[in-house]
Structure 1
């Protein structure tokens, strides 16, 4: 039996962020996201997403470089998403809702707090830009749980995902050093189907 679904979903959620950049100490920070989803079929979608929140890392006093920062960021990305059921439709229904997603995005960095000087190495400092914009490539693994009505149509989608963002630059921590930055996100989201009835 073919189940009905809506072509357009809208979603909101929360993120737990971690930066792997030029600051030695990792910190977890929070953020939020809003997205709109165009469902090509039951298993594939195109997603436009806005995120905002804080990225942070480092420790002024305990690390050799003294690097520490806080970044109030905003980002936008477009990505495609495909669930396991698109290819392996004979697997158990619960497994079919796992998905892989990737695309392209941009992040606007606003460094609100930073330490560039080292207390352990007198005279050592790290240069960088307090405001910048970088492109990034998101790679996301996740699972979507659907709550359905009596007609087997989804009325709420709960999304749990882990996203690794490969930044095509070295600015999200405010330090220009020797490697491009990466930030990861663990997210929980809720999507509501809006309109565009399909079968």
Structure 2
């Protein structure tokens, strides 16, 4: 006597489906979390370095300056913020300058800067080189500089060099530099060591205190510029944001 056997596949019960669903969620959460990191949205810092002037006084000189910053982080690698700077700008030589001009400018400036770092655009997690250079940045901004000549040669014989001992000009900073990041005990980026090169283009004739015209036999065509090479430190704090970059 032959018997027919019919196999009926039993549908998974509720507990089985629940376990599979939770396992899938766990995998998705793990993958997502692996590609995300927290970052602090505020940072403050300061530093110092050397200045060098390029003005209508042909011979530039080295001076020194210091700065303080307060930045807001849109992402770990895109920031905007205020920079306060002060120091000495020097140029000329009363003996060797063709017009016997010399100045020392005890300046102060405040600028609003934006900076864009390489880490925003590179997948640095799998490359040591890209990871080491993820803090490389370019930036620019706008602000004002207050000039105060605490030393300046105003006379050559009977001729008086025109210009102001105190003035205010618009300044455009151009920044290139690199940040090196250091985590705190929780693995979040808390400390930053910075190297920055800044070229500051001024709109006006106040940087060297002279405002001569070509009629006086002194060329005065180019904008006044000073460079500032600095090192500094920043401390990150405040509310946290979330980025899809895994920062290490």
Query: 1:142 — aligned with what?
Result: 177
Question: Are 1:187 and 2:211 counterparts?
Answer: no
Please tell me whether the aligned partners of residues 106 and 134 of structure 1 are also in contact (alpha carbons under 8 angstroms).
yes
Query: 1:114 — aligned with what?
Result: 152
Q: Paired residues, what number?
A: 196
> Which has a greater percent of helix?
2
Q: For residues 115 and 17 of structure 1, what CA distance do their matches in structure 2 show? A: 21
Query: 1:129 — aligned with what?
Result: 164
Deviations 1:133-160 (A, max 9, x none): 0001111000000111243311210110
Please tell me whether the aligned partners of residues 3 and 152 of structure 1 are also in contact (alpha carbons under 8 angstroms).
no
Query: 2:14 — aligned with what?
Result: none
Please tell me whether the aligned partners of residues 71 and 172 of structure 1 are also in contact (alpha carbons under 8 angstroms).
yes
Q: Could you say what secondary structure the match of 2:110 adopts?
A: strand
Q: For residues 87 and 124 of structure 1, what CA distance do their matches in structure 2 show? A: 57
Q: Aligned to 1:156, which of 183, 191, 197?
A: 191
Which segment is superposed worse, 32-41 or 150-159? 150-159
Query: 2:133 — aligned with what?
Result: 95
Query: 1:58 — aligned with what?
Result: 92
Query: 1:23 — aligned with what?
Result: 57
Displacement after TM superposition at 1:53 (Å): 1.1
Displacement after TM superposition at 1:127 (Å): 1.4
* Contiguous gaps of at least 5 residues in structure 1: none
Task: Tell me how large the CA RMSD over aligned residues is.
Answer: 1.5
Query: 2:119 — aligned with what?
Result: 85
Question: Are 1:48 and 2:82 counterparts?
Answer: yes
> After TM superposition, where is structure 1 displaced by more than 6 Å over at least 4 residues in a row?
none
> Which has a greater percent of strand?
1
Q: For residues 73 and 194 of structure 1, what CA distance do their matches in structure 2 show? A: 30
